[in-house]
Structure 1
Amino acid sequence: MKAPLSPAQERLWLLQRLDPDDAAYTMYLVRRLRGALDTAALTRAFGQVVARHESLRTSFAEQDGVPWAMAEPHGASAPPVEWLPAAGEREAAELVAERVNAPFDLSEGVPLRIAVVRLAADDHVLCLTLHHIIADGTSLNLLLDELGECYGAAVEGRAPVLAKLGVRPSDYARWQRHRAERAAPYWLERLARPPVTELPFARARPSGTGAFHTVRVDAGLAGRVERLAGRHRATPFMVLTAAYQALLSRHSGQRDLLVGAVFAGRDRVELEPVVGYLAQTVVLRADLGGDPSFAELLTRTRADALAAMGRPGPPFERLDLPVDTLLPTMLVLHDRVSPPASFGGLEVSDFAAGYRQAKVGLLLEGAWDDDGGLVLTFCHDTGLLDRAEVELLAARFVRLLESAVDRPHEAVSDLRIWTDQDESAIRALASPRPAAREDARGVPELIEASAHGRPEAPAVLCGERTVTYGELWAWAGELAAALRGHGVREGDVVGVCLPRSIEAIVALLAVWRAGAAYLPLDPDDPPERHAPALETAGAARAVSRIGLPGDIQVIDPATPHPKAPQPKAPTWSRRRGRRPRHPVPRRRLTRSPPRAPRVVPRPSWSSTAPSPRACAGCARSTA
């Protein structure tokens, strides 16, 4: 049977076409089965579940550039079960990790794989993997329950007792296509001019590789979360989302930010037993304007979530914005799930899947445990955040959550967020510091001293290019003069939008020499990321080789202003500790003026000249 895809399925299909090797949307069901396993009964159970659910018999074909869902007949057989021997748990874990991290090719049949790893005659690991386009999180729970029922029925020689299916995934997809058109105006207005949400500690570029850090909220705090939600006619999900929005705002200072969320999409009884991709990914826009109390923020988050829950997800393809702008981070709270009532006498337990994918930069998943507590898992992209940073974020989130539920009428900015480690660091920063040496010099002065003392020494290495201290100082002087010729004055902020290169180092040094502060911009970022940064910093000029948004005046680092006066080389006094005299009075270039951000590092080099710096990607250094 040929049927159209839902808008959400179309997006997943397109993402797989754009990056066939991406396994971020591979879903998995991994469980350990202890006891005497009847392999024939388990194979029969797989066949019954696959025959029952249309999505598990659906492949995808492209016709004239349009993807279609092609469901096989009801009597189609299940994919063959892969029976794998393992010498021990380590080998079993490797076999499972290999499968859950493997991508699917949606053009090659049903995206479903079934494997059973044999550790011993009475010890096996079930590994079921499938693409997100045919299932969601609720579907995995349904599959486990139905597999247990079908296996138990096969062992006991009876017919399985399963809920009646009244809706097919293809019917749901058609319905969603109609609803999406009606919901589009809401999302286009709600997400107009979206902010670029800043993740705490984020750096570099996403790698797609994920790592996980888990913390547990004890039953006492989890209970207080539920009671606070009840008093405000909200849900625990809304409380956690408001706390997460507050966490991000406290780190970035942003009052307008975006957090993605996932709703089950099963708001009708007939949808509850359906295996398929019914979940809806939405974007919640936090409003922390006016420094609200946490109770007020919860009220705002509740209204936003209720408005989003009643609609299909945003039409991302019509918003003309990068996905990482709209979904930089997400929060998902899973429903309470009970273990299967029966699995034919087998003991069912968890088994580490070894999943290593990251869908977004930072994903917070919550799941209730059997003791009434809440297990929070922070999945982070290792290219953006490292483990220590995520551990710190997790500890701060729990501290902020405690403060919010205990003092909900306190302003968000006053909620306690710092951990004991943070408070120790703050006390250390506040303690008296030894006075700086009178002869202490900043980076520009150290480089200047090297330019006069050993001008032929290599300063910067990049590939086959070498720039000496004399050349670096002269080049930076010419560019500094060009900046002043373009109107840069002491205390200004100048953007620097260059890839890692010799020119970038020259530009930073030139901005310092011009008496300004630099604002680093990543040339790989889209213009909508540059614009708010330049506006907030008050930068009217930038050193770059690409155009920048707005009325920013762009100066090419390789082409100094032809009419700009060239700076004279300052002379050093032989008397130790005396600063060089310049043709015109000026402040030390390493000291930021009162209205400019302090961006100059304080190196702790013991030598009188800095070591040569090597650009990223260079394999050699003279240091």
Structure 2
Amino acid sequence: MSEVRTTIAELSMRNRAALLAELRGRDRPVRRGLDSAPATFQQRALWFLDRLSPTSTAYNMPVHLRLTGPLDVTALRRAFAAVVRRHDALRTRLTERDGQPQLEVIPDVPHGLRTAEAPDTATALEQAAQLGARPIDLTSAPLWRAKLWRIGPAEHVCTFAGHHAILDGTSLAILWRDLADHYRAEVDVNEAGGPRPVPPITYADFAAWQHDRVTSSAWRRSRRYWLENLHDLPTLALPTDRPRPSAPTGAGGIRTAPVPPETAAAVLRLARTEGTTPFTVHLAAFWLHLGRHANQDDIAVGTATEGRPVAEVAEVLGYFASMVVLRGDLGGTPTFRELVSRAAATTRQALAHADLPWELLVDAVAPDRDLGRSPLFQVGFGAAEQLAPPSFGEVHAEEVHQDLGTARFDLNWTVTLGSSGEVVVEYSTDLYHPATVDTMIESYLELLRSRLSEPDVPTSVTVTKAAEIRVVDDEDDYVAPECPTEHELTEEFAQVLARSGVGTRTNFFRAGGSSLQAAQLIAAIRERFAVELTVLEFFRTPTIGGLAVRIDRRRAARLDDGALVDLIETLSDDEVERLLTVVD
């Protein structure tokens, strides 16, 4: 290694730059013309959630545009078809191979932009909301629906509702921009510029490249960073109006409130003074807000990053966004200015290690899994710029926002930046009343106002430390498998987890199993026992003993009386007694 360092040190600046470009070039995606690839890690996480709740619409992403002016419907339909041809994500579905999700690109989709008549705008928007609220089957392309309602000669509503598995926020902006570009080119052959060049790679190319990076040094560094920073992360203990259900329904609501212009201006001034962004100022206030509600000085929220690590994917439509955890230290009596500095440093470090997909981040930290909570954080936070609607020439476009009635987290808090900003909170109706969320928004805005007026006054979170309690986990006591089903499951556990010493009390997830490995094990159980277990059932009983009971119960239910007698005669008295207890 020392010889290599010496050689590099002796290189000229020009040759050193050429070497660096060559090394970086080896870790960049290239066009391969793929029509299938392993699903990206972002898609795998949604595929797993879809297995948990196949009829959920929490990850639908509908957008509604109100179009006013002389719309050329034929030109819009042709423009939409051109966008579908341009982006392979719009012709993608997810299939399963050996228990693992694969993305598959089809040459063409069975339908495009559909049209309908509506008597008025309210009716059109009501039907548009119904379209966006229908479940989307991830195995059947396309994973979107698009429809145009004609209300009058110069009045239309256009809706595009796609699944998050093929889209994210940046992709939606790309989609509408490309649609507007193609539309203007269709109605005016002299349109300057015309449609943009085709992206250098496809989403399938990115998927293959992403899987090639699993063992990269960059991802290894990010794994170490997140493990070191999150291994002792406490659960956010926000009070709720209702008891937390064992499994969330995904039902939600939205509450909003404007950010006073003087507050927005003060946020911008402090951000400029501190050399940071309005996002970090709002983040510091949000940490403090949560800390006071939860009586904690160690706060974690999740935020979405763009997830586009290389220039080649800047114009590609697909699901790239990934979550990172922003852990806030409210300890001591910091001033608000100091909290902003902490928020800026935390955000910089998180973004520097945001290349690791969320699913691998969770697997690296390996928190206890709980169907009632999202892993690592339960509250999301983000800031969004006010974007101008796409230009359709003489046709004016205005986005119409609607409450989807869904929630992905306990609370998902978004601050729209700018002089006319607002706070938008998506909340779980399993946990909160609307009035409670309104009160939380009001107290946040008041806290933000007061801290901005006195940024150098010490502030603190009053935390009452609970007595430390050591919990002894029953699974620490090894229990050997007894019946044939438990023995066979032990073999499958050991193979998937690549470890020995698993017993009937071994919890799959606490033993290091990931959601993808869970899918592998479910597929292996289906193959070995001819029993179909849902992901939800696996989550509820992730131990060998619990799964053996489920498998034996399914097998017993399939047997007729004669076969049951034949089987019982082959069992020991203890096994018969155990099986009868299960059936009873």
State the TM-score bracket (shorter-chain normalisation). Answer: 0.5 to 0.7
* Distance across 1 between alignment mates of 2:96 and 2:198: 32
Match of residue 376, structure 2, among 318, 326, 332? 326
| Worse-superposed segment, 108-117 or 219-228 | 219-228
* Distance across 1 between alignment mates of 2:129 and 2:269: 39
Partner of 2:392: 343
- Following superposition, the deviation at residue 362 of structure 1 comes to 0.6
* Distance across 2 between alignment mates of 1:392 and 1:110: 41
* Distance across 2 between alignment mates of 1:224 and 1:21: 44
Within 5 Å, which residues of 2 pair with 1:141-540? 141-157=173-189, 160-177=194-211, 178=213, 180-205=219-244, 206-266=248-308, 268-310=310-352, 311=354, 312-314=356-358, 315=360, 316-318=362-364, 319-322=366-369, 323-340=373-390, 342-368=391-417, 372-413=419-460
Indicate if the aligned counterparts of 2:121 and 2:157 stay in contact, CA closer than 8 A: no
Unaligned runs of 5+ residues in structure 2 are: 1-34, 470-509, 511-584
* Distance across 2 between alignment mates of 1:167 and 1:410: 52
* Distance across 1 between alignment mates of 2:417 and 2:460: 29
RCO higher in 1 or 2 (8 Å CA, sep ≥ 6)?
2
For the structure 1 residues 78 and 163, does the alpha-carbon distance in structure 2 shift closer, same or farther, using more than 3 Å as the test? farther
- Following superposition, the deviation at residue 11 of structure 1 comes to 0.4
Indicate if the aligned counterparts of 1:50 and 1:78 stay in contact, CA closer than 8 A: no
* Distance across 2 between alignment mates of 1:288 and 1:60: 43
**What letter is aligned with 2:164?**
H
Indicate if the aligned counterparts of 1:335 and 1:367 stay in contact, CA closer than 8 A: yes
Structure having the higher Rg: 1
SS of 1:412's equivalent? coil
* Distance across 2 between alignment mates of 1:12 and 1:26: 11
Indicate if the aligned counterparts of 2:253 and 2:428 stay in contact, CA closer than 8 A: yes
Per-residue Cα deviation, 1:440-484 (whole angstroms, up to 9, x for no partner): xxxxxxxxxxxxxxxxxxxxxxxxxxxxxxxxxxxxxxxxxxxxx
| Worse-superposed segment, 133-142 or 286-295 | 286-295
Indicate if the aligned counterparts of 1:199 and 1:328 stay in contact, CA closer than 8 A: no
**What letter is aligned with 2:139?**
S
* Distance across 2 between alignment mates of 1:410 and 1:174: 52
SS of 1:413's equivalent? coil
Within 5 Å, which residues of 2 pair with 1:31-110? 31-73=65-107, 76-77=108-109, 79-110=111-142
SS of 1:326's equivalent? coil
What TM-score does the superposition give when structure 1 sets the normalisation length?
0.63
SS of 1:245's equivalent? helix
SS of 1:10's equivalent? helix
* Distance across 2 between alignment mates of 1:294 and 1:350: 36
* Distance across 2 between alignment mates of 1:65 and 1:128: 31
Indicate if the aligned counterparts of 1:113 and 1:130 stay in contact, CA closer than 8 A: yes
* Distance across 2 between alignment mates of 1:29 and 1:325: 28
- Following superposition, the deviation at residue 182 of structure 1 comes to 4.6
For the structure 1 residues 328 and 353, does the alpha-carbon distance in structure 2 shift closer, same or farther, using more than 3 Å as the test? same
* Distance across 2 between alignment mates of 1:363 and 1:277: 19
* Distance across 2 between alignment mates of 1:16 and 1:368: 33
| Worse-superposed segment, 146-155 or 215-224 | 215-224
More helix per residue: 1 or 2? Answer: 2
What TM-score does the superposition give when structure 2 sets the normalisation length?
0.67
| Worse-superposed segment, 209-218 or 156-165 | 156-165
* Distance across 1 between alignment mates of 2:337 and 2:111: 51
Unaligned runs of 5+ residues in structure 1 are: 416-491, 495-527, 529-623
Corresponding residue pairs, total:
415
SS of 2:195's equivalent? coil
Indicate if the aligned counterparts of 2:324 and 2:350 stay in contact, CA closer than 8 A: yes
For the structure 1 residues 208 and 99, does the alpha-carbon distance in structure 2 shift closer, same or farther, using more than 3 Å as the test? same
Indicate if the aligned counterparts of 2:39 and 2:94 stay in contact, CA closer than 8 A: no
- Following superposition, the deviation at residue 95 of structure 1 comes to 0.8
**What letter is aligned with 2:178?**
E
* Distance across 1 between alignment mates of 2:62 and 2:406: 12
Per-residue Cα deviation, 1:133-176 (whole angstroms, up to 9, x for no partner): 11110111111111111111111135733255123223333444
Same amino acid, percent of matched pairs = 33
Per-residue Cα deviation, 1:351-388 (whole angstroms, up to 9, x for no partner): 2434111010111112235xx23221011111211111
* Distance across 2 between alignment mates of 1:23 and 1:368: 28
**What letter is aligned with 2:48?**
L
Indicate if the aligned counterparts of 1:203 and 1:383 stay in contact, CA closer than 8 A: yes
